[in-house]
Amino acid sequence: MGVWRDPSSKNAFILSVVSVLFTFLAAFIGIFYYMTAGSALCLVFGLENLVDLLSSVVVLWRFFSIGKLTPEREELLKSREIRASTAISFVLLLLGLFVIAASLWDLKNGNDENQSEKLILGISFVSILAFGTMTIFKFHYASALDSSSLHKDGVCSFIGTVLSCALFVNFFIIQHYPQLSWLDAAVAMVLGFVALLYGIQSIIALRKRKVPICSLSWWFMSRGDGKEASDPSTRPPSEDGASDLEMSEYKPDRETTLSNEVV
């Protein structure tokens, strides 16, 4: 199997490990520089990556496959898809709220006098390359593996890419047109609303499918079919390719089996 042409769950697992490491490093650098130099811009960057880290951790759990990837393990990983997708929907909602709040704060307070020009260019340029590359791979893997959780994680990385691009381009714009310093905050606010609405829409869709997203037992015991593992009642409509697993788990009752034997 090729890393790009024919990706597997193992490739998605490796990608999620890279994503976790990078977002953790970016969050640490941003928060550390804020604590040492007082740059509020770096604090926003660090906290945004901290939220994005949550999404990457969820996908890491979804595709966690150390060692040989057996068919049984593959089925287990598929059973996590709905819960992973649901969790990232909440992360997108949280990310949207944070980005909107940060952009409003930026519009109110203006440019940060403590920010370093070289640091801004360095962070934004590296982030464009890293987030951009991960976004492309995540969307491609999500399509190849039919994973909505990985697709939503790609949306988080895409937002990080656009925010970094806005920061990078706006730096040069401000050099010539200081009055346009509000541009990156405006772009961030638009992206924040996109993430917020996307997260809300996904959660509403899950509720319409009667997925028990407010049930702790579902989160910890579900086999991915929208109900607790011990609940034999009628299952709700499936999502994210869980139908195959549900059908394999379904067993006819005793009366149906006996009637078939008589016939």
pLDDT of 234 over the 60 cut: no
pLDDT tens digits, residue range 165-206?
Answer: 888 888 888 788 888 878 878 888 898 999 999 999 999 999
Query: Average pLDDT, stretch 90-117?
Result: 80
Query: Average pLDDT, stretch 56-74?
Result: 90
Query: Average pLDDT, stretch 67-88?
Result: 90
Q: pTM of whole model > 0.85?
A: no
What is the per-residue pLDDT for 116?
66
Query: Average pLDDT, stretch 96-121?
Result: 77
pLDDT of 147 over the 90 cut: yes
- Cβ atoms of 144 and 7 closer than 8 Å: yes
pLDDT tens digits, residue range 208-231?
Answer: 998 898 888 888 876 555 444 444
What is the per-residue pLDDT for 149?
94
Q: For the structural domain made of 9-208, what CATH number should be given?
A: 1.20.1510
Q: What is the dihedral of CA 114, 117, 120, 124, to 10 degrees?
A: 170
- Cβ atoms of 142 and 148 closer than 8 Å: yes
Which has the closest alpha carbon to 93: 27, 159, 46? 159
Domain ranges of the chain: 9-208
pLDDT tens digits, residue range 3-60?
Answer: 888 899 999 999 999 999 999 998 898 888 878 766 666 777 888 889 899 999 999 9
247 vs 179: which has the higher pLDDT: 179
Report the percent of the chain where pLDDT is more than 90. 37
CA distance 50 to 132: 17
pLDDT of 255 over the 60 cut: no
What is the per-residue pLDDT for 233?
40
**CA 69 to each of CA 17, 65, 132, 163, 177: distance values in angstroms, whole numbers, following the listed order:** 16, 6, 28, 36, 55
